[in-house]
Structure 1
C-alpha cells in the first residue's frame, strides 16, 4: 500500500537539519579511489580531496559524499581496512559544524561506523542494507540518516524494473526501520546505472514520482553515467555535464529531493533557474 510522503528534514547526529521542503539539495561527489568510473585517481592525496570537497561546497553542495571503494561495473573489491584508510583522513579533515554534512558512501558496517565516529553524518549504502544488514544498526546507533539505493548483480532486460526497484527498496526500508532507523530518516535511490539496461535507466527517471509510494524522499544520481553518454555520444564521463543536468532537472520535476552530482556549479545554477521559472513569486527583480 502506498505510503504518504511528507518531506520535512533529515536530522543529523549533531542536531543539524537538512530541509527537504524548500528546494532540491545537491550532494557533491568526492571519490578517494584509484578506479572510479568518472574520476578515479584524480584526487591523488588527502590535500587534493580536501580542496576538492571545499570547492564543491563553495559551488553549492549541501552534502559532500565521500567514497573509498569504486562501485563501477567490474570494480575490484577491497576490504574494510583499506576503505577506512582512504576515507578517514578526508572525513577528519572536513568534519565540523562549520562544514557541510558529510555522507559516507559504503556498504560495509565497519566502514560506516568508523566514518560516523570521525564526523560523517549520513550513511549512503549502494546495496540498501542488503549486503551487510548490520550497517543499519550502525546508523541507528549513531542517529544517522540513511540513503538506500537499489542495486542488482546482473542485468535482466525482461523484468519490470520499477516493480523490482520498489520491492527491493521496501525490503531495505524494513531492514533499516527494524534496526531502529526512523522512516523519516530514510532516503531512497533508484540506482541509475546499477544492473539496468539503458531503457530501464531512462524509464526509472521518467517514472521517478512512483517512488513516492515508499513514503521516503528520493535521491537521483545520474551524474556522468554511461546512460548519459549513450544518448549524447560523449565517451568521456567529464564531458557529460549538460546531459547530466538535463536528466537531473527532469528528475526534480518528478519529485527528486536530492541530486547527487560531480559537477556542482553547473547543477547549482541550473536548479536556481528551474526554481525561478517554477516559482516566480520568490524571485526579486
Structure 2
C-alpha cells in the first residue's frame, strides 16, 4: 500500500529540507523552493486602473487576485488588492509590472518591498552597544523591573534601590538576557509622572545595574531627557513606547551611543482599517525615521504594542497575537510584551494578575511559534522553560 501525507514547512529552510528528502538535484532545489510556499499579499488602496492590471497579470502567472466588485463597473476609484501566489509567481509579476506605465509605480514599489523581504532572511543579529544577540534560533528574555508604585503587577515592590538591584540580579541568575527598567506605569488608568520624578526613579537603578550585572540594561520611557540620561549612565537599549512619534530625537541619541532601539506601536484610539496593516505602516514609518537618524538596522526591534493603554481593545489584542507572524515581514526582530496583562486576566475572569501565569506562558509559546524573538517577562524561570520547550519543538534546537 502506498502512503501520502501533507507537509507543512514553517520557512524556506524547512522547504529545502523536505525537497532534499526526495533526492532532487541542488539546481532543481534552487528553482523549486520558490514555488513551494503560497503567500497572500495585500496592497492597500490601489487605483482602479492599477487594481485591474495587477489582477490580470497575476491571473496570467497562474496566481489569483481579489479586488472590489465595483471596480469592474467603474463605480469606485480604488480598491485593496489581495494577491495569492508563490514567490516564483510574484517574481514574474514584478517583472511585468516594472514595464507598465508610471501610474503603477507606487503599487509596484510596495509589492517589491514585500517580495524582497520574503526572499531574504530577517536580521541575523540584534546589536545594543557592546552586546550582540544572534537571532537564528535563540529567543531572548527581557526581565521587567518596574520602579513604580502603580504598575499593574509588581507596583511598589522595587521602589527601594537595594530591592531593585537585588531583583535584577535575581532575574539575571534565572536566565534573563536583558533587564528593562521602567519608571512610568502604563497600566490602564495610569497617571503620567513628571520628567524629574521619572529620572529620580530610574537613573540610580540604571547607573548601579550598569556596573553590577553583565547583561544589557534597557530603559522603558517616552521622554527624551530620560532616554538621554539613561544612555549617559550605562543604558544600552531604549524602549520607546511612542515609537518615535512623540520625540523622534530619541533616534538621534540611540545612533550617537550605538544603542539598541525598541520601536513600539501606539495609538490614541482603537479605530483601524486593518489592525496589522495599520501597525505595519506605523512601524515602517518609525523605522525609516530611525534609519534616517543613523540607527543601524541591526540595532532595531519592533513591538506591536499589545495593551489597552496603547490603543487596542481586548479583541484587537487577541487578533494581534493571532497574526503575529505577519509582523515579521518588516525584517526586524519582534518583541512580545503580554506578561500578565489585563486583557488575559479579564478574558479568564481572574481575580488578579497573580492567577494568570499559565495563560501568559501559553500565549508566549504561541507568539514564539509565530516568530517572536524577544519576550518581556516578569516570571523569568517559568518563561525560560516555555522558551526552551517551544524552541526544541520548532527548531530541533537543544539549549545549554
Q: 1:217 to 1:68 in 2, by over 3 A?
A: same
> Given the alignment, which residue of 164, 178, 184 partners 2:278?
164
Partner of 1:99: 214
TM-score w.r.t. length of structure 1: 0.94
Q: For each residue in 1:164-218, what CA deviation from the matched residue of structure 2 results, as whole angstroms up to 9, or x when unmatched? A: 2111111111111111111221110011112111111111111111111211110
Q: What is the correspondence of 1:38-77 to structure 2 with a 5 Å cutoff?
A: 38-77=153-192
Partner of 1:241: 357
Unpaired segments ≥5 residues, structure 2: 1-112
Deviates more, 1:251-260 or 1:268-277: 268-277
Matched, 1:150 2:249: no
Would you say the 8 A contact 2:137–2:391 is kept in 1? no
C-alpha distance in 2 between matches for 1:169 and 1:125:
12
Would you say the 8 A contact 2:139–2:375 is kept in 1? yes
Partner of 1:199: 315
Which secondary structure state, in structure 2, belongs to the residue aligned with residue 103 of structure 1?
strand
Partner of 1:219: 335
Which secondary structure state, in structure 2, belongs to the residue aligned with residue 95 of structure 1?
helix
Matched, 1:181 2:305: no
C-alpha distance in 2 between matches for 1:151 and 1:16:
27
Which secondary structure state, in structure 2, belongs to the residue aligned with residue 112 of structure 1?
helix
Would you say the 8 A contact 1:5–1:212 is kept in 2? no
C-alpha distance in 1 between matches for 2:122 and 2:365:
21
C-alpha distance in 1 between matches for 2:158 and 2:228:
24
Partner of 1:121: 236
Would you say the 8 A contact 1:189–1:220 is kept in 2? yes
> Given the alignment, which residue of 349, 367, 373 partners 1:257?
373
Following TM superposition, by how much is the alpha carbon of 1:20 offset from its aligned partner in structure 2, in angstroms? Answer: 1.8
Q: For each residue in 1:226-259, what CA deviation from the matched residue of structure 2 results, as whole angstroms up to 9, or x when unmatched? A: 1211232223112211111111110000000001
Would you say the 8 A contact 1:5–1:216 is kept in 2? no
C-alpha distance in 2 between matches for 1:138 and 1:79:
21
Following TM superposition, by how much is the alpha carbon of 1:155 offset from its aligned partner in structure 2, in angstroms? Answer: 2.5
> Given the alignment, which residue of 249, 258, 263 partners 1:134?
249
Q: For each residue in 1:22-75, what CA deviation from the matched residue of structure 2 results, as whole angstroms up to 9, or x when unmatched? A: 311000100001111221112130111111111111111101110011112221
Partner of 1:108: 223
Unpaired segments ≥5 residues, structure 1: none
Which secondary structure state, in structure 1, belongs to the residue aligned with residue 244 of structure 2?
coil
Structure 1 outlier segments of 4+, above 6 Å: none
Q: 1:49 to 1:281 in 2, by over 3 A?
A: closer
TM-score w.r.t. length of structure 2: 0.67
CA RMSD of aligned residues (A): 1.7
Following TM superposition, by how much is the alpha carbon of 1:11 offset from its aligned partner in structure 2, in angstroms? Answer: 2.0
Flag the structure with larger Rg.
2
Following TM superposition, by how much is the alpha carbon of 1:280 offset from its aligned partner in structure 2, in angstroms? Answer: 4.3
Report which structure shows greater RCO (CA 8 Å, sep ≥6).
1
Q: 1:283 to 1:81 in 2, by over 3 A?
A: closer
C-alpha distance in 1 between matches for 2:345 and 2:397:
36
Partner of 2:200: 85
C-alpha distance in 1 between matches for 2:336 and 2:397:
27
C-alpha distance in 2 between matches for 1:68 and 1:115:
11
C-alpha distance in 1 between matches for 2:298 and 2:397:
30
Which secondary structure state, in structure 1, belongs to the residue aligned with residue 295 of structure 2?
coil
